[in-house]
Every structure is written in structure tokens, then in C-alpha cells.
Amino acid sequence: MRLYLLDTNLVSYAAADNPRIHTKLAALARSGHICISALTEAELRYGMEKTPPSREKQLAIEGYLAKFHVLPWSADAAKAYAKLRVANEKGGQTISLIDLLIAAHAVAEGAILLTNDARLAEIKGAEVERWKP
């Protein structure tokens, strides 16, 4: 089974008790082939620091962070980022820096990036699966 790397928005949706996303993630989590990037953890922690969520949502986010393996950023991810950024700039795509970094992390790990972000689904050079809540 392939490895799946979660984008920040899916963890946020699941933590906000979106039943559809929560159910899909729970099923995938049972396989053990799901992880998040250290960059996703950074985004989630930034969001909690900037706009403190309800105690319930904070516990849910912390629960997801504890449940999924957090992959450290690597030199391979940096190389994948450079290639993705050039390919997407040549194609006229303007993707946010953090989204390109997370997509590159998925590429470096040979993972499918799971997201709800339509812009991420358009990244050239990354395997992306879009889940709608």
C-alpha cells in the first residue's frame, strides 16, 4: 500500500469534527500508511498560536499529531522542492511556498499528498488526491 501524506487542511477539517474526513482518515490510519510533514505540524501549531481554537479542537489537533508519524524535512525534500517550483513556475502556476514545500515532501517520500485544496491538486510533478469535506 502507498504512503499518504496529509495536507494541513485535512487535519484541520478532521479536528473540526468533519465526519466525512474524520471517517476516511480513521480508515486510512488503520493501515498505518499515513503521515504528516513537519511543515504541516508547523502550520497547525502556528494556526493554534495565532487564533487559539476551542479546547476540544486543540485536543483533536494534538490527537492527530500524536497519531500520525511526523516526517522530518530532508535534503531529498529540498531537491524535490526545487524541481517542483521550477516546473510549476514554467507552467504559470503560482502556488504558495508552504504548499509547494509540503507537496515536495510528499514527492521525496514517494507519497500521495491528500488535500482539499484545489490549487494543490493542480501541482505538476506531485501525486495529489483531493478529498472534499
Q: Give the percent of the chain with pLDDT over 90.
A: 59
Q: Does residue 37 register a pLDDT over 90?
A: yes
Higher-scoring residue by pLDDT: 62, 28: 62
Q: Looking at domain 4-128, which of 3.40.50.1010, 1.10.20.10, 3.40.50.10300, 1.10.274.30 is its CATH number?
A: 3.40.50.1010
pLDDT per residue over 51-109, tens digit each? Answer: 998 999 999 999 989 989 999 999 999 999 999 999 999 988 888 999 999 999 999 99
The rounded distance, in Å, linking the Cα atoms of 91 and 47 is: 31
Q: Which has the higher per-residue pLDDT, 19 or 72?
A: 72
pLDDT of residue 50: 95
Mean pLDDT of the chain: 91
Q: How many Cβ atoms sit within 10 Å of the Cβ of residue 46?
A: 12
